[in-house]
Chain A
Amino acid sequence: MAIPVLICDDSSFARKQMARALPKDWDTEITYAANGEEALTAIRAGKGEVTFLDLTMPVMDGYAVLETIRKEDLPTVTIVVSGDVQPEALARVQKLGAIEFIKKPIDPDKTRTVLTQYGLL
């Protein structure tokens, strides 16, 4: 059965790059969100078993999404995908419950490695 995957990024170009970086042999049903609020709506609707989450976004940023996911115990596994490569950004999102941090520009090999590592593939 296809896994519901959510891609949340304010950039349509980044969403497309993320979708392209997913393994071709991974059976997914992809939903897109352009900000944190849209992401939470999708996750609550069961459309994000796995969420790829950007950090810097208008309306609601990635940090606020992670906080809400934790607070409401929402059913999703979150992988942060961001251009903010400061070690402190990584530490903060891990503390907030993200399982992994993938640096932009997104690398398909790294994506596969992460998905395999967590038994998602």
Chain B
Amino acid sequence: MKPEAIRAEPIVLSDIQRDCYQEIANVAMGQAADLLARLLNVFVELPIPQVNLFEITDLHMALQSLDQEEAASAVCQGFAGDGITGEALIIFNDSNFDDIARLMNYTGEHSEAMHVELLMDVANILIGAFLKGLAEQLDLAFSQGHPAVLGQHKPIRDLLRPTHQSWHQTLAIEIIYALENHPVNCDLLLLFTEDSIEVMNKKIAYLLED
């Protein structure tokens, strides 16, 4: 780690900024949940989105919902636009797969390939819709990279072992979707780079103006 890569002052979020991000996330999350609800024919229970700044090395601690020890699988997808870059992640505990497969009418053998396909399907829906909702509210456009499997059947802390050495602080938005009457939940995690935080703070400053 080179000293010049570290900021003199860590970025902080005011309560007003945090509240604004939370509300923007709330709207975007609702739009994504609507698509998921229609696809699975269920009612999606919406949480209050968690917005926090983290050291990237502490990221696994950010995840409040999922059992750290239980095996999980994750898909990540990069996004960028207007000076904002980040990664979106979908994380499932492996114990959820049978229920989701049933809801999505997947039939046949539960193979690894099906596992990946399921993850990708849910990731595409939730990440795409969330980013669209976010972009609309911030008045910008994101382009999305290809989704990739981050890891399968591993404890969360191993899945989220940081690979971005130059990336210290991150703005994390965590949304825990739960399905009513089904023992399924799924984490949507948005991670924004340090440089993006300043750009986004400027964007929301317009929204916060009197």
Contacts and interface: CB of A to CB of B under 8 A. Distances in A.
A56 B27 contact: no
B69 to A, nearest CB: 28
A5 B207 CA distance: 23
Contacts, number: 56
A13 B23 contact: yes
B31 A13 contact: no
Given A84-B46, A86-B37, A105 B19 contact: no
A97 B80 CA distance: 43
Given A11-B23, A56-B46, A88-B43, A83 B16 contact: no
Interface of B: 16, 19-20, 22-23, 26-31, 33-34, 37, 43-44, 46-48, 137, 207-208
A11 B22 CA distance: 8
Given A56-B46, A56-B47, A84 B19 contact: no
A61 B11 CA distance: 32
Interface residues of A, number: 20
Contacts of A11: 19-20, 22-23, 26
A57 B28 CA distance: 16
B46 A10 contact: no
A82 interface: yes
A74 interface: no
A57 B208 CA distance: 21
